[in-house]
Copies of this chain bind each other. A is one copy, B any other.
Amino acid sequence: MTEPRRKRGAERTNNRGPAAIPQLPLRRVRNPYPPMALLSDDQIEAIHEASLHILENFGIELMSSRALALFEKAGAKVDHATQTVWLDRGLVDQALKTIRPTYTLTPRNPERKIHLGGDTINFTLVAGPPNVHDMERGRRAGNLRDYSDLVRLAQHFNCIHLIGNQVCAPVELPANSRHLDTYFANLTLTDKAFHVSAIGRGRALDGVRMMAISRGLTLDELARDPGVTTVISVNSPRRYDEFMSDGLMAMAEHGQSVAVTPFTLMGAMSPVTLAGALAQQNAEALFGVVLTQLVRPGAPVMYGAFTSNVDMRSGAPAFGTPENTKANIASGQLARRYNLPYRTTPGSASNAADAQGAYETMMALWGAVLGHGNLVYHAAGWQEGGLTASFEKFIIDVELIQHMMEFLKPIEVNEGELALDALGRVPTGGHFFGAQHTLERYSTAFYQPLLSNWHNFEAWREAGGLDATARATRVWKKALEEYVEPAMDASVREEMEAYVAKRKEEIGAGEP
């Protein structure tokens, strides 16, 4: 649990001066524009009906006897031998009456509270890669040192609102207890909300309990004011495995947030057509939503979407494609049909933090924004279709996210902004550099990038001629120097350390 560098940032607080990396202030990001509609109302209803047809006639395989019993008790048709549930539309309607259209997640620092639903948009650190990459050290297996640096970066940049599930897997640690080390890192190196692993009940509950400890709450208090979320990935097509079902139920039971996310890669786990993949996604998502409400009516739950296509020649997943972008927008329409907060993803299949990585993520990110995603998951650092967390891609993505945040600031039109006085004073062919109107506003008028280089060619070449990827290396290194570890009460830290130690012993002794 030793974190030798955890005081470093605090010691340096006073050294942060004008040379600090520019970034946008901490703020709740709202999407003021109407969501884009790619599907007509009729088309949405056709997809809705198709998804009910899937639930009612084809059924969902549910590999959990506890979950099967819940559905049976609620009146669904259940076959225990094949572990199949056929869900009629009445149960779906019933569940949709108790979901919450909006809710919040509160971490130990209440200023970092995030709002899910409505017009709020939140961005998360990439989650789940087995590997890590940066331009100096190359590609390597995930490990706790890199894990810690990546969550430090997520803490440092205000535009990252939530820590995703394991930014990389710390593979040097025992597989059955490493979630405790990553939760501890999330809770001590950041004060943001985070995503717990819901692969089984034990991992989920450890995250819930550690969040409760960090906030000094009982589990009941935490259930009334949730602090963590998880993603339940469906084993598409139409299968919920035991681990994910149990994780989902543990989260819902404790009033914590779940994003039910079918894994619908068109051509592989889903039909090759967008309408078919969306119908399947919708069926699988609604099934999970119903399960959360059977466990605990009112449990916070999101509609998750991960529909993209594969390369039909190799079967390899692709992201940031035109199809993925359309799915990100259309899925938002479906989520809003049910009044559910919407989780989406701006991925890329690129193996490098290069132009492809940038345009694929930008493409899908526009889909996420125009689709009014509330939780833009894997928003920073995603590389190789999610197999690698990249330090440089993280910086590129922070730049992309900040571009979007500024784009989402509405245009103001009023006397001061129309600038007629300045327009009348500056002579024809003249310039506005020295105009009073300019002088009063220039320092905040435009978005100031952290990565983009606007120098002319000669100045850029003299400064080394570094491309954006090479500059990103400098930025993440500087950000790690500027990083300040958020203070934590010593007694809270001790309680958390004791919890981790106790659980490691239990897990070592074979307890779940």
- Residue ranges of A at the interface with B (Cβ–Cβ < 8 Å): 33-34, 36-39, 43, 46-47, 50, 53-54, 57-58, 60-61, 84, 139, 235, 237-239, 266-276, 279-280, 309, 311-312, 314-318, 321-323, 325-326, 330, 349-360, 362-363, 366, 370, 384, 387-388, 396, 399-400, 403-404, 406-407, 409-414, 416-420, 422-424, 426-433, 435, 437-438, 441-443, 445-447, 449, 451-457, 460-461, 465, 467-469, 472
Contacts and interface: CB of A to CB of B under 8 A. Distances in A.
Given A275-B411, A388-B457, 16 more contacts: A38-B411, A47-B413, A237-B428, A266-B446, A271-B438, A272-B442, A273-B445, A312-B445, A316-B455, A323-B406, A323-B447, A349-B454, A351-B461, A353-B355, A354-B468, A370-B370
A54 B426 CA distance: 12
A472 to B, nearest CB: 8
B420 A279 contact: yes
Contact of A468 (B47, B280, B356, B404): B356
Contacts of A453: 349-351, 356
Given A50-B420, A442-B272, A413 B355 contact: no
A24 to B, nearest CB: 11
A322 B413 CA distance: 17
A362 B358 contact: yes
B350 A239 contact: no
A428 to B, nearest CB: 4
B452 A403 contact: no
A449 B446 CA distance: 34
Contacts of A239: 428-429
A432 B271 contact: yes
A19 B438 CA distance: 55
A66 to B, nearest CB: 19
Contact of A326 (B57, B396, B411, B465): B411
A411 B39 contact: yes
Given A438-B271, A447-B321, A454 B311 contact: yes
A431 B360 contact: no
A452 B356 contact: yes
A354 B354 contact: yes
B33 A428 contact: no
13 contacts: A43-B411, A60-B428, A237-B430, A237-B431, A271-B419, A274-B411, A275-B414, A312-B445, A349-B453, A351-B453, A351-B465, A355-B469, A359-B399
B351 A457 contact: yes
A139 to B, nearest CB: 7
A420 B279 CA distance: 9
Contacts of A418: 46-47, 50, 273, 275-276, 279
A279 B423 contact: yes
Contact of A61 (B352, B429, B441): B429
B354 A467 contact: yes
Nearest to A312: B442
Nearest to A59: B428
A237 B413 contact: no
A230 B443 CA distance: 36
Contact of A400 (B60, B359, B451): B359
Q: Which of A36, A309, A363, A400 gathers most chain B CB within 10 Å?
A: A363
B326 A426 contact: no
Contact of A417 (B269, B274, B314, B414): B274
Nearest to A400: B359
Contact of A350 (B269, B270, B271, B452): B452
Of all A-B residue pairs in the complex, the 4 with the closest CB atoms, nearest first, are: A276-B419, A322-B406, A271-B419, A354-B467
